[in-house]
A and B are shown apart, each in its own frame.
Chain A
Amino acid sequence: MAREIAGSADPADDSGLTSGRDPAGDEQEVSVAPQWKLVWWSFKRHRMALVGGIITIFIYLVALFAGFLAPYSNDSFDSEYAYAPPQRLHVVDDGEWGLHVHGYRAEQDPETLELSWEIDESQKIPVGLFVRGEEYELFGLITWDRHLIGPKDYDGPPMYLLGADELGHDMLSRIIHGTAVSMSIGLVGVILSFLLGVVLGGISGYFGGWVDNLIQRITEFVISIPTIPLWMGLMAAIPSHWGPLQRYFALTVILSLISWAGLGREVRGKFYAVRDEEFVMAATVDGASQPRIIFRHMLPSFTSHIIANMSLAIPAMILAETALSFIGIGLQEPTVSWGVLLEEAQSIRVLESAPWMMLPGVAVIVAVLSLNFFGDGLRDAADPYKS
Chain B
Amino acid sequence: MLGYMTRRVLIMVPTLFVISIISFAIIQLPPGDYLTTMVAEMEAQGNEIDEAQLDALRERYGLGESFFTQYYRWITNVVFHLDFGHSFDWNRPVSGLVGDRLALTVGLSIATILFIWIVAFPIGVYSAMRQHSVGDYAFTMVGFIGLAVPNFMIALVLMWIGLRYFGQSPGGIVSPEYADAAWNLGKVLDVLGHLWVPIVVWGTAGTAGLIRILRNNLLDELRKPYVVAARARGVPETRLTVKYPLRVALNPFFSTIGWILASLIGADAIVSRVLNLDTTGPLLLRALMAQDMYLAGSLILISAVLVVLGTLLSDLLLGWLDPRVRFRYGR
Contacts and interface: CB of A to CB of B under 8 A. Distances in A.
Interface of A: 221, 223-230, 232-234, 236-237, 239, 315, 319, 322-323, 326-327, 329, 342, 345-346, 348, 351-352, 355, 358, 361, 364-365, 368-369, 372-373
Contacts of A369: 144-145, 148
A82 to B, nearest CB: 19
Given A224-B15, A315-B148, A351-B159, A327 B296 contact: no
Interface string B13-34: 0010011001100110111000
A117 B309 CA distance: 54
A329 B270 contact: no
B284 A229 contact: yes
The 9 closest A-B pairs by CB, nearest first: A228-B266, A237-B29, A233-B26, A236-B288, A368-B148, A369-B148, A361-B153, A226-B262, A226-B266
B249 interface: no
Contact of A351 (B23, B30, B149, B156): B156
A225 B19 CA distance: 8
Contact of A233 (B150, B274, B300, B308): B300
A229 B299 CA distance: 9
Interface in B290-312: 296, 299-300, 303-304, 307-308, 311
Counting chain B CB atoms within 10 Å of each CB, which of A227, A229, A358 scores highest?
Answer: A229
Nearest to B299: A229
Nearest to A368: B148
Given A226-B307, A322-B150, A372-B148, A232 B160 contact: no
A226 B262 CA distance: 5
A233 B148 contact: no
Interface residues of B, number: 50
30 contacts: A221-B18, A224-B307, A226-B262, A226-B263, A228-B267, A228-B268, A228-B270, A229-B284, A229-B299, A229-B300, A232-B269, A315-B148, A323-B270, A326-B270, A327-B269, A327-B285, A342-B152, A342-B156, A346-B156, A346-B273, A348-B169, A351-B163, A352-B164, A355-B160, A358-B156, A361-B150, A361-B153, A368-B148, A369-B144, A372-B148
A239 B23 CA distance: 19
A329 B288 contact: yes
B134 to A, nearest CB: 15
A228 B269 contact: yes
Contact of A227 (B144, B156, B266): B266
A323 B269 CA distance: 10
B201 to A, nearest CB: 13
Contacts of A323: 150, 152, 267, 270
Counting chain A CB atoms within 10 Å of each CB, which of B159, B164, B270 scores highest?
Answer: B270
A325 to B, nearest CB: 11
Contact of A346 (B18, B149, B262, B274): B274
A254 to B, nearest CB: 11
B167 to A, nearest CB: 10
B157 A229 contact: no
A321 to B, nearest CB: 10
B258 interface: yes
A239 B258 CA distance: 33
A239 B31 contact: yes
B288 to A, nearest CB: 4
B242 interface: no
B244 to A, nearest CB: 22
B265 A351 contact: no
Contact of A229 (B152, B259, B269, B308): B269
Interface string B188-221: 0000000000000000000000000000000000
A319 B152 CA distance: 11
A224 B311 contact: yes
